[in-house]
């Protein structure tokens, strides 16, 4: 095999989007996928303006919109009484940031990037399980379980939550949130109650939440039920089972309970992230996507961050490519590492706080609801830091928002505040 300029380990959304971004610069790119074929599991994914801006730059936005849905509103409701807490006018949001908020099936987005990679000549190899990495001056290599050695000028590890390459940078382990997600897509013709597909809706409740929105032009209803597992908290191995699903939502409103029988019950996803790390580059080897920054799902930014990683790396590669075509990889990787870890650290930690806020009970739930209801629909204070243009340099990174303490609601509902917590108002997640 010819030696490529870039070797990417992992053929998910992050790996393929990065492969496309680099191949469109004329670089030779090879992608190694461990499975027998390229594909994505799961259901819906949300793409905020910081992602659709990149899709537009890639010339893929219109095709993505054709495969997905561009909703009108994003709504947060209380899962117990069903009342509306706050909302975003997504058409106004598009005017604010210049690009739409859309939803799409994960497999459709993955296929979009896979087709784009094929069109630009990316070399796509399957059944390539990478078990180790090495490097010499001027090149890096990944070795598979069959002993095959793939060399390239640079190796980008986009090999997910359980990344082999991450062990070069950290001895950490995934962090369990004790939450589990059930998913289910249902043909809209089979939905037995009214559902407004112009809305992305999340019902937030004590230790649980439920999300729904349309997919594939409104032909499918995507649903996600997430809850805290008592068995996980007790340290048991068998956790997140269907009986726990049913128990977790017993106090929720009728709409949510009526949707639970339509979830896939033979598969569930346990929710993990990792503590942020600052170092993503070692010589000619770099981490990308969940290998570097796996988040919890509450900010709906996991796949987006991976797409942003690839875009930033490609932009610096283009900037530091000489007239002879040679890339200053040391400079490009240094520039990549200078900006992305801090942004992704913010997202990972904010996602944790946002998840805590969603799942409050008792007095804190009441405080949260007061603050959310007080938010004005056109207030983008809590989204500017994340929905704006992706930063290429540290000085481009916008300032974070100022958290609102829950006790700020006390003047409305009265009484002592108790333990301080922050209502980190931000985007609604999948």
* Cα distance between residue 156 and residue 190, in whole Å: 43
In degrees, rounded to 5, the angle at the alpha carbon of residue 50 between the alpha carbons of residues 427 and 379 is: 45
Q: For residues 348 and 292, is the Cβ–Cβ distance under 8 A?
A: no
* Cα distance between residue 111 and residue 39, in whole Å: 8
**Can you spell out the DSSP letters for 82-108?**
--EEEEEEHHHHHHHHSS--EEEEHHH
In the set 213, 298, 336, 387, the catalytic residue is: 213
Whether 133 is catalytic: no
Longest dimension (CA), the chain: 71
* Cα distance between residue 232 and residue 230, in whole Å: 5
For the beta carbon of residue 201, count every other beta carbon within 10 angstroms: 20
The token duo for 393 is 């340099």
Q: Could you tell me the CA-to-CA distances from 21 to 150, 187, 315 in Å, in that order? A: 21, 34, 9
* Cα distance between residue 153 and residue 320, in whole Å: 15
Nearest to 361 by CA among 75, 76, 80, 77: 80
The token duo for 256 is 């949510």
- Sequence-distant (6+) residues with CB within 8 A of 400 are 346, 385
Core vs surface per residue 148-185: b (16+ CB within 10 A) or e: eebbbbbbbbbbbeebbbbebbeeeeeeebbbbbbbbb
Q: Which residues are catalytic?
A: 213
């Amino acid at each position: 095999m010819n030696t490529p300029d870039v070797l990417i380990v992992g053929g998910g959304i992050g790996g393929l989007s990065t492969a496309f971004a680099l191949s469109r610069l004329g670089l030779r790119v090879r992608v190694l996928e461990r499975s027998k074929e390229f594909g994505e599991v799961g259901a819906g994914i949300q793409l905020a303006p910081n992602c659709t801006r990149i899709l537009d730059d890639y010339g893929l936005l219109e095709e993505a919109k054709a495969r997905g849905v561009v909703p009108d509103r994003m709504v947060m409701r209380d899962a117990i009484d069903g009342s509306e807490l706050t909302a975003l006018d997504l058409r106004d949001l598009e005017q604010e940031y210049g690009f739409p908020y859309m939803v799409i099936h994960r497999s459709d987005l993955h296929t979009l990037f896979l087709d784009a990679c094929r069109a630009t000549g990316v070399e796509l190899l399957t059944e390539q399980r990478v078990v180790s990495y090495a490097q010499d001056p001027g090149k890096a290599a990944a070795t598979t379980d069959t002993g095959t050695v793939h060399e390239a000028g640079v190796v980008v590890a986009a090999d997910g939550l359980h990344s082999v390459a991450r062990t070069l940078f950290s001895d950490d382990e995934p962090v369990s949130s004790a939450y589990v997600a059930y998913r289910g897509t249902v043909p809209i013709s089979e939905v037995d109650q009214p559902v407004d597909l112009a809305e992305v809706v999340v019902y937030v409740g004590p230790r649980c939440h439920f999300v729904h929105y349309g997919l594939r032009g409104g032909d499918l209803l995507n649903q996600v039920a997430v809850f805290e597992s008592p068995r996980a908290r007790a340290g048991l191995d068998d956790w997140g089972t269907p009986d726990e699903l049913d128990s977790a939502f017993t106090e929720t409103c009728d709409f949510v309970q009526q949707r639970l029988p339509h979830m896939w019950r033979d598969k569930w996803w346990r929710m993990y992230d990792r503590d942020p790390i600052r170092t993503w580059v070692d010589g000619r080897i770099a981490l990308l996507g969940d290998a570097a920054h796996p988040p919890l799902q509450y900010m709906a930014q996991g796949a987006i961050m991976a797409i942003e990683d690839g875009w930033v790396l490609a932009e610096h590669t283009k900037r530091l490519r000489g007239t002879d075509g040679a890339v200053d990889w040391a400079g490009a990787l240094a520039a990549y590492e200078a900006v992305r870890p801090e942004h992704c650290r913010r997202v990972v930690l904010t996602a944790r706080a946002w998840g805590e806020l969603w799942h409050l009970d008792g007095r804190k739930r009441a405080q949260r609801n007061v603050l959310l209801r007080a938010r004005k629909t056109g207030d983008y204070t809590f989204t500017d830091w994340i929905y704006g243009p992706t930063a290429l340099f540290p000085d481009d990174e916008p300032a974070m928002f100022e958290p609102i303490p829950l006790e700020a609601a006390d003047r409305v509902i009265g009484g002592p505040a108790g333990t301080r917590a922050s209502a980190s108002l931000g985007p609604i997640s999948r």
